[in-house]
Amino acid sequence: IKSGGYNVYPPEVELVLADHPAVAASAVIGCPDPEWGERVVAVVVTRDGAEATEAEIIKFCRARLVNYKTPRRVLFVKALPRNAMGKVQKAELRQTVCG
């Protein structure tokens, strides 16, 4: 992901998200943005019985990441799309989330 001239490595952001007590799984993608090139978007699956808000997740990340790596949007889903090997299908997510 290239945001505002900076490289953002999704696994780094995903590791931070994994530390949040409500997050069971996540995928970080870049969506086109006219001002920044791409904006960081987190797609999150919450743990059973856990609740979190977009603002809470962003605040959690902001405390642990530099500004340009912090997700600008957080979307909550029931499950992440995966292939037969269990790998998250980020291209499919980008199509669905970014349009």
Local structure of 89: helix, strand or coil: coil
CA-CA-CA-CA dihedral for 22, 89, 29, 93, to nearest 10: -90
Work out the average pLDDT over 34-51: 96
Q: pTM for the full model?
A: 0.94
Q: Please determine, for residue 25, whether its predicted confidence score (pLDDT) is greater than 90.
A: yes
Q: What is the pLDDT of residue 37?
A: 95
> Do residues 78 and 13 make contact, with C-beta atoms less than 8 angstroms apart?
no
Q: What is the pLDDT of residue 99?
A: 82
Domains of the chain (ranges; CATH) run: 2-98 (3.30.300.30)
* Percent of the chain whose predicted confidence (pLDDT) is above 90: 99
> Which residues lie across from 32 on neighbouring strands?
38
